[in-house]
Amino acid sequence: MLAAAGGTGLLAATAVPAKAATTRRARAAAGDGTPEQIHLTWGEDPTNSLVVSWASPGQAVRARVRIGQRVIPAEARPYTDGISGEPVWTYHAQVGGLRPGATYAYAVTADNDANAADPFSATFRTAPVGRVPFRFTSFGDLATPNTEWVLSYGQSAYAVAAVESFQPLFHLLNGDLCYADLNPTVQPAVWRDFGNNNQASAANRPWMPCPGNHEIEFGNGPQGFTSYLTRYTLPDNQVPGFAGRWYSFRVGSVLFVSLDADDVVYQDAGAFVAGPAALTPAASTGNPPIQPGTSFYIRGYSGGAQTAWLERTLEAGRGDESVDWVIVQMHQCAASSSATGNGSDLGIREEWLPLFDRYQVDLVLGGHDHDYERSFPVRGADADVGTEAATGAMVNTLRPHPVTTTDGGVFDTSQGTVHLILGCGGTDTNLDDYGTDTADGLRQAKVFTRADRPALTSAPDVYARAAADAVEDAIWSARRDTSTGYGIAVFDVDPEPEGSGGHTSITVTHYHAVGADPVNPATGAKGAPTPDYIEFETFTLVRPRSS
* Binding site residues, Fe ion, CB under 5 A: 176, 212-213, 368
**Which residue lies nearer to Fe ion by CB, 63 or 178?**
178
CB of 454 to Fe ion, least distance (A): 17
Say whether 210 sits in a helix, a strand or coil: coil
Sign of CA dihedral 283, 286, 289, 290: negative
Nearest to 542 by CA among 509, 488, 493: 493
Smallest distance from Fe ion to CB 430, Å? 14
What is the nearest approach in angstroms of Fe ion to the Cβ of residue 37?
22
* Pairing outcome for strands 247-251 and 103-109: unpaired
Q: Supply the DSSP symbol for 270.
A: S
How far is 139 from 510, CA to CA, in rounded Å?
10
Task: Choose among 151, 150, 175: nearest CA to 232.
Answer: 175
Closest CA to 141 of 159, 123, 116: 159
The secondary structure element, H or E, covering residue 511 is strand 503-512
Q: Which is nearer to Fe ion, 45 or 371 (CB)?
A: 371
Per DSSP bridges, beta strands 534-544 and 410-412 are parallel
Nearest to 488 by CA among 250, 191, 174: 174
Q: Which contiguous run of DSSP H or E holds residue 71?
A: strand 70-73
HSE toward the beta carbon, residue 126, CA cutoff 13 A: 23
Residue nearest to Fe ion (CB): 368
SS3 track for 318-347: HCCCCCCEEEEECCCCCCCCECCCCCEEHH
Is 540 within 8 Å of 411 (Cβ atoms)? yes
From residue 380, alpha-carbon distances to 34, 309, 336, 349, 477 in Å are 52, 21, 17, 10, 15
Min CB(342)–Fe ion separation in Å? 7
Other C-beta atoms lying within 10 Å of the C-beta of residue 101: 15
Kindly tell me which of 430 and 505 has the beta carbon lying closer to Fe ion. Answer: 430
CB 176 to Fe ion: min, Å: 4
For Fe ion, the closer of residues 113 and 215 by Cβ is 215
Q: From the CB of 424, what's the least distance to Fe ion, in Å?
A: 12
Which residue number, 270 or 435, has a Cβ lying nearer to Fe ion?
A: 270
Which residue's CB is nearer to Fe ion, number 134 or number 228?
Answer: 228
Closest CB 445 distance from Fe ion, rounded Å? 16
Least Å from the CB of residue 296 to Fe ion: 14
Q: Which is nearer to Fe ion, 139 or 411 (CB)?
A: 139
Which residues does residue 88 pair with via DSSP β-bridges, in sequence order? 79
Closest approach, Cβ 512 to Fe ion, in A, equals 20
Residue number, 195 or 366, with CB nearest to Fe ion: 366
Residue 510: in which H helix or E strand, if any?
Answer: strand 503-512
How far apart are CB 332 and Fe ion at their closest, in Å?
7
Q: Which is nearer to Fe ion, 154 or 366 (CB)?
A: 366
133/325 Cα distance (integer angstroms): 13
Nearer to Fe ion, 176 or 517 (CB): 176
Count of other CB atoms within 10 angstroms of residue 115: 14
